[in-house]
Structure 1
Amino acid sequence: MFSILKNTSVPFSLQMPGTMNDRKGIFEWIVNAEMKLTHQRFIPEGRITGTPIRSHQNYRSRKIKPLLLDGNYIYSKAPWLSWGELLFGLEKGYIDEKGVSEYVCDALTSSSPKEAVEIASLEVNDYYLVPDLLKSLIGNHSWTESDLAKPWIFLLLFILVGKQRKL
């Protein structure tokens, strides 16, 4: 992982060697300051340089669809997420209200707060309540944005590396 900007960890690029359709090269991903995946591609015969590769003769620019993670999948990989981290993921678009409800449903215990039980039992037409319920669970607790982003970087990279291995 390489920082694109000096003295900061975002935006960053990740370059990994790999193969696609029997061609060796590198996979490259770029995440922006809002922690959104903005760039991903395979560069045949590419080399890891630590800087984004801007052009390649066989590469055509394309719009990247945002990656929306499933709540059950997130819980299976990161069952330790805090309410603040869930809200951060919701606000950044990594998970939607339905995914938050699925995550919370998987995480429920007999000592879960009533707001968590409410999130887990919401009907589809009530998903708009999720952000306010998460905020009430957070209360006065505060985190830095970089602390809130770390688990989402882990989850996104976990998925990206898994996809690269399947290719």
Structure 2
Amino acid sequence: MNKNNDLNLIEAELRHIPKIVELVNLSYRSKELRGWTSEAEVVSGNRIYAEQLQDLFVADSKILLMFDAAELVACVHVQKQQDHAYIGMLTTHPQRQNQGLGKQVLQLAEDFAQANFAVTGFEMSVLSCRTELIEFYLRRGYVLTGETEDYPIDANVGQPLVEDIRVLHLVKLVH
């Protein structure tokens, strides 16, 4: 396995969709290969489908991919929204977690958004029951906005297995 500084970061193209779908669903919903980001205990079903991913290939929206040789090991979606960038789908392969890769990819996403979209801050959403993930983002300078919304059952991103699951919003301002 290469060290993180040997990894290659590229912008996704349509041809990468199958690998991205595989990585995201494996990382978030696999019952067999669970990393600390797994949602398999709280949400069932796929996290994303190829059609949903294809919809992210629009203006002011990029999916950044990190490869170790030919293996896709991480990805993140960055989309400009007025003066902020929405950062979502931050994913690292379960076997590559706890090595600092998630922190590195998040920082690269923030740097990319500042360099390409001239934003003043970042936004993201996290499931309310994912306390370890919320704490991860709080350590990276994000703050909870206090805004919440119901789990998007109609968005075809899985079915909640726990009651009262909410989507929380976080922000981080550029200094």
What range describes the TM-score normalised by the shorter chain of this pair?
A: under 0.3
TM-score (norm 2): 0.26
- Of Structure 1 and Structure 2, the greater helix share is in 1
- Of Structure 1 and Structure 2, the greater strand share is in 2
Q: Which has the greater radius of gyration?
A: 1
TM-score (norm 1): 0.27
